A and B are shown apart, each in its own frame.
Chain A
């Protein structure tokens, strides 16, 4: 029963991590560069949900949509300043990593300036769901459910719409898709907005689970990046595997080694995966 509890907990956490890294992966697919500000976007989404809850009593699961919309807006502005001018430079991947690091610094420290470093989180105060001996806290349950739903919608969008096809084509070969009259510049903007929106939605989902400070932007961003590296950059399946692996290793690590040593376990997983397969589990060589 204990094992079932741990497995369910790890699975729910894993789905959240998957959703966290999905936007990062989508951006990597089209731009071939990692967006370091992803964690800052997640943090902004979390704060959006928190303030909507604080001022209007809005349920965080409703503000998922609002946070996503707001973050797409933030995404399009930051795309103009921090990403677009550098497309086409040699070494674009590293340059974008550093410029978006600057974006993360700007967003996180602005948040610190206005909202201070106080821990903030939404407390819904609902009883956990219990089935037999297994009890699951409701924020985890709903969070996992929403994460699976959003990921499914995203999957359908990528696989079964014209735009999704264009995104996949650009991910495979940017120049060839340009020749096929796909407007890759517009698509880059779109995917950056989409990635930011997904980050915002994730942020709203995690507010009832973890308390948030502005500094969490860096930590969550690093976790999302680790998920993506473990799974393999640019592979959605890899995102799923990496997310679940991280979720399980966190939950089991916390249970068997104590919460303080929790980071060591997933760092160990990370180093082992990198040492054995540097391009990630599902990544191409």
Chain B
């Protein structure tokens, strides 16, 4: 009876799981030392997809508001980085917080326009919102150089980008875990289950939705800043592309909506699959993306984990 509270905490920690995560992280940190450049760039993009999916999961998976406009924060981050770097030649790591703040400011705009709406209304408005920013980036030539795009200083950034994305992924996953375990997270899940009931017990739903949107937008803005540095060239179609978000959404649904590790499982399965398809069939790739979308949502509404549990159960019975 030294310290009952400490003992309970220690009992709650799943040692096996933590060891596995540590092993995985060590492996990811050490990986670029032994792999080829192509593989590192692929893994860096995979990590970016996981980070994207984690952001989408924290907002849409927790609150039940399906956003299809989250690429807008990424794009705003990209443009903030590119403009400040080229015009004013700021130091890279000094710009990153500004990228995040710009993303958050955009999120305030989206919150006031669209978060008053519910369900599919919100989804449509988020799409339209993202499209507005794409068209703005195309038309405001004095600021964004229009469709010609902006060229950043061409520096070889692959390994930096890899580690940056690794840090972002780990940060976001820890954040997802902390939010889910806090009273803040319980409020978000209450909104998902029944918003009116949540309001009637005194949860300020608009405040909670806005804050979680701001948090995800902030991180997406920073990721956007890193992404622009990595690409060294951005134009509106790259910065505000909707396909990465779509892949992230599908990964999240596949891994399990609202689960902390859902986006990681989903992206680890789905993104390599898409990469293989993209290499072998460049045109048909988007057609397959469209088909897999409906198949995943139809046959795996709960994600892939129930399937794995079922298989393990069968194996246990057989063994």
Contacts and interface: CB of A to CB of B under 8 A. Distances in A.
Contacts of A104: 290
B294 A267 contact: no
A103 B290 contact: yes
Given A91-B64, A229-B128, A102 B120 contact: no
A109 B68 CA distance: 20
B11 interface: no
Nearest to A81: B294
Interface stretch (A157-165, A175-183, A256-264): A256-264
Contacts of B268: none
Interface string B118-149: 01110111011001100110110000000000
Nearest to A31: B120
A225 B124 contact: yes
A112 interface: yes
A96 B293 CA distance: 11
Given A106-B291, A263-B135, A275-B112, A96 B120 contact: yes
Contacts of B113: 271, 274-275, 278
A149 B201 CA distance: 53
Interface string A256-285: 000011011001001100110011000000
Nearest to A268: B132
Nearest to B140: A264
Given A110-B287, A270-B132, A32 B246 contact: no
Nearest to A82: B294
Contacts of A109: 283-284, 286-287, 290
B111 to A, nearest CB: 12
B287 A278 contact: no
Interface string A210-232: 00000000000010011001000
B286 A105 contact: yes
B132 A261 contact: no
Secondary structure of the A contact surface, majority rule: helix
A97 B68 contact: yes
Given A112-B283, A264-B135, A89 B128 contact: no
Interface residues of B, number: 36
A274 B121 CA distance: 11
A242 to B, nearest CB: 13
Interface in B88-135: 112-114, 116-117, 119-121, 123-125, 127-128, 131-132, 135
Of listed A81, A105, A113, residue having the most chain B CB within 10 A: A105
Given A112-B283, A226-B128, A279-B117, A94 B294 contact: no
Contacts of B112: 275
Given A89-B301, A264-B135, A278 B117 contact: yes
B5 interface: no
Contacts, number: 108
A99 B291 CA distance: 9
User: Which of B117, B125, B294 has the most chain A CB within a 10 Å cutoff?
Assistant: B294
B78 interface: no
A129 B251 CA distance: 55
Interface string A107-118: 011101100000
A74 to B, nearest CB: 14
Contacts of A61: none
Given A86-B297, A270-B132, A94 B123 contact: yes
B314 interface: no
B117 to A, nearest CB: 5
A166 interface: no
Nearest to B253: A98
Given A91-B64, A91-B66, A33 B290 contact: no
Contacts of B125: 229, 274, 278
Contacts of A94: 66, 119-120, 123
Contact of A102 (B128, B135, B136, B293): B293
B289 interface: yes
A278 B115 CA distance: 10
A101 interface: yes
Interface string B246-280: 10010000000000000000000000000000000
Contacts of B283: 109, 112-113
Contacts of B124: 34, 97, 225, 229
5 A-B pairs with the lowest CB-CB distances in the bound complex, closest first: A93-B120, A105-B290, A102-B293, A94-B66, A106-B290
15 contacts: A81-B294, A82-B294, A93-B121, A94-B66, A97-B120, A99-B293, A102-B290, A102-B293, A102-B294, A104-B290, A110-B287, A264-B136, A270-B128, A274-B113, A278-B113
Interface of A: 32-34, 81-82, 85-86, 89, 91, 93-99, 101-106, 108-110, 112-113, 222, 225-226, 229, 233, 260-261, 263-264, 267, 270-271, 274-275, 278-279
